[in-house]
Each structure stands twice: as structure tokens, then as C-alpha cells.
Amino acid sequence: MKHRFTALIPIAPRPATIFTEGTGSWLSDSEGHRYLDFVQGWAVNTLGHCHPVIVEALQSQATRLINASPAFYNQPMVDLAELLVANSAFDQVFFANSGAEANEGAVKLARKWGAIHRNGAFKIITFENGFHGRTLTMMEASGKPNWNKLFAPKTPGFIKVPYNNLDAVVDAIDDETVAVMLEPIQGEAGVIPANQDFLHAIRKLTKEKNLLLIFDEVQTGMGRTGSLFAYQQYGVEADIMTLGKGIGGGVPLSAMLVTEAVSCFEPGDQGGTYNGNPLVCAAGCALLKTLLKPGFLKSVQASSLHLQQGLSTLAKHYGLGGVRGRGLLLALDTLQRDATAITKQAFDHGLLINAPRPNTLRFMPALNVSLEEIDLMLNILDKAVK
Ligand code: PLP
């Protein structure tokens, strides 16, 4: 069959395959091939493809109300905000459509707070190799190598320092600094966790200097690391947190959460046509209620252990590097082996995995992936590495 791929702007190197169906950890293409999916839309399909609770929530909401207006309340919007607030360290929520948009909201809020409380301070300290999205401002907030050369002129006000380096943060602070923004685990950088001491010291420092702390949990949130949010494992609470990716279980939804003390938007400061849309918020409610069921996050931790053990055994066998990460956001260093070539081999064997760095493989399966599926993945990975 001939596909008209040329009608699409090429934004990523994509295989010439059209995916047509998905169930749980499995995707099928138009030729009838099946793939074990350990990418899951880049850690988006929290419960795998087309999970019944997500499908049911979307179907039943679609027959009642698809879109009211961001100018009106709707039930799923209110329910999801209440659920998020009840289960986190934050008091208020702004909904958006993508991680980048939630982060833009966080930056705007921090700048407004700076205008009110810090004499117009606006600079935000972010981190080398960090990733916060692809809007013009988020590209500048991100520390992705070579991005600073693109799409000039840049949004001013982002100071980048090395991750896990407290002295660099201290040195970067001046009178115009308003916040420090970071991922508790840098996902796109190749799953690099913040050191426990570093995160605690950053919280202490930001409190002492009257600066805001912003956690970007777009990738690490919603159970991905084995707790509802990664910050809970570190025991460090921020002033602002952003969520995206997994929060909608596959549909475009994101959120910015803030503590009452810092919440300072007034009507007109922030918004968006699809903000709090009932269809996607209904999916978000269904997803969060599933994550909160007794035992769910424990099973993520058990699956994580199983996957970590399997990856370590494979790494030992082939002389690969260490396994990193938490929960079901794990990475394996391939050292001198080409990780992208391994993902291509894996694809040919019916396995979807991702290489965020030339020598790093990343694993982000559905949180309800079975132990058998993990074993099958390890089996195929073994063939791909061989
Ligand atoms: N923040 C983090 C930590 C991410 O990993 C990503 C996407 O990978 C984003 C923000 C951007 O999210 P989106 O692509 O939905 O704009």
C-alpha cells in the first residue's frame, strides 16, 4: 500500500509504518504486524493503549458534553482539580493541553509572583540537558544541546547551570532571580535522577532566598516513578508543579499546580480555549482514580524491580552499562554500542523502545505492564543487542 507521507511536515525520523490499533502493551500496524510497546506515546498511555476505563470515560463524557467553554465550570474539570489537590501538596490547578503549555503557565505565574513580591525579579534558573517543551520560551528554558542556536531571538530570563550542582545554582542567583525550575528526574536527558541531597539543598536555598521552586513532573508524574509524583520519594515539596503526558492516559491534557501562598493569577492572566475541557478531564479523572486504587502503585514498584533485574542481567551478559531511574521510567547505558541501532533492530523484532541519547535506551511501558510482557521485552531486547 502506498502512503502519502509527503503531505506531512517531517518532524521526526519515522518508520514507514501506519499504526492502526492498540490494546494494553500492544500496537498493531496496517500490515497486521504486532509490536510490544515500551514507549507508550513517550510515557503518555499510562494504562496502555485503549484501556477500558479511559475508553469508557471518553465514551460516556462524549455523549453528555464535549466542550462547554473555558469561561464556564464543568463537572470533570472540577472533579479532577479536586482529586489532584487532595492527593498532592498543592492547592489550585490550571489545566492546559501539553507539557510545554503547563510550563509556560508556571513561568508566567513565577514572573507575576516576582512582579508582586520580588521587585520585578523574573529570571529562572534551569538546568543543562533539561527538557521543558518546544514552544519558543520552553526551548530556551530547556538545556538541550544546540537548541540555543535555533529560532532567534530567544526569550530572555533563563540561566542554565549544571544539574546536581548546588554551587552553580548559588552562583547563578542574583537580585533578578525569581525561581529555580527542574525535573526531579531528567527524562529526555537520558533518565538522570536528581541527587537526594541536591534536591533538599535546593529547597532550603530557595526558601532562604525567597525564590520559588518549580518541579516539572510532566514525565515523572502520574505514577510513572512508582509514587503518584516523584517529589514524594524525595520528600521535597515545590511551590509549583507541572504535569502532562500521562495525566490524560493518552489524550492531550496537562496541568499546573500551585500552593495557595504562591497562587496569584487573576482573571485574564492565563487561559486557553481547551483549558479544562470536560472530555479530556473525564479521562484524567478515570486515570487518577485507577492510580489511587489500593495496590496499584505497589504493582508499579514490583514491575520496576523485575524490569531492573532483567536489564541488569542482560547488561552483565553483554558488557553494557548500568540501569538508572525509578518506577517504570528506566534507562540502560549501552556504552560503545549504538542505542539507536538497537532500537531499529528491536523494531524489526516487534519491540518499540526509545534511545534518548546515542548510548542510552529508555523504557517507559504502561504502568500495568505484566511481568510476562517484561520478560518478552527482555527476550526481544536480547536478540536486538546480539
Ligand atoms: N517537560 C518534560 C519533563 C517533558 O519530558 C516533556 C516532553 O517530553 C515536556 C515538558 C513537554 O511536553 P509536551 O511535549 O506535551 O509539550
Establish whether 131 is a catalytic residue: yes
| Ligand 1 neighbour 187 (Cβ under 6 A) | yes
Mean pLDDT for 203-212 is: 98
Report whether pLDDT(1) > 80.
no
Question: What percentage of the chain exceeds 70 in pLDDT?
Answer: 99
| Ligand 1 neighbour 99 (Cβ under 6 A) | yes
Total length of the chain: 386
Distance from Cα 258 to the centre of ligand 1, integer Å: 18
pLDDT tens across 261-311, in order? Answer: 999 999 999 999 999 999 999 999 999 999 999 999 999 999 999 999 999
Question: What percentage of the chain exceeds 90 in pLDDT?
Answer: 95
| Ligand 1 neighbour 219 (Cβ under 6 A) | yes
Between CA 93 and CA 145 the distance in angstroms is 32
Establish whether 216 is a catalytic residue: yes
Q: Please identify which of the residues 94, 122, 127, 131 carries the catalytic annotation.
A: 131
Distance from Cα 100 to the centre of ligand 1, integer Å: 6
Mean pLDDT for 360-382 is: 98
Report whether pLDDT(343) > 80.
yes
| Ligand 1 neighbour 325 (Cβ under 6 A) | no
Model confidence band, residue 13 (pLDDT cutoffs 50, 70, 90) = confident
Q: Is 317 exposed, middle or buried (0-12, 13-18, 19+ CB in 10 A)?
A: exposed
Q: Which atom of ligand 1 is nearest to the CA of 254?
A: 15
Contact 276, 74 (CB under 8 A): yes
Contact 309, 321 (CB under 8 A): no
- Strand pairing category for 158-161 and 123-127: parallel
What the block records as the C-alpha cell of 99 is: 507539557
pLDDT tens across 15-55, in order? Answer: 899 999 999 999 999 999 999 999 999 999 999 999 999 99
Q: Which atom of ligand 1 is nearest to the CA of 186?
A: 3
Q: Which atom of ligand 1 is nearest to the CA of 245?
A: 15
Show the CA angle centred on residue 196, arms to residues 193 and 201, nearest 5°.
Answer: 120
pLDDT tens across 271-281, in order? Answer: 999 999 999 99
Report whether pLDDT(2) > 80.
no
- Single-letter code of the amino acid located at 38: F
Between CA 81 and CA 79 the distance in angstroms is 6
Q: Please identify which of the residues 122, 245, 333, 363 carries the catalytic annotation.
A: 245
Place of cell 532500537: 343
Q: In 3D, which of 23, 27, 60, 56 has the Cα closest to residue 290?
A: 56
Under DSSP, is residue 266 helix (H, G, I), strand (E, B) or coil?
A: coil
Say what the pTM is: 0.97
Place of cell 485507577: 290
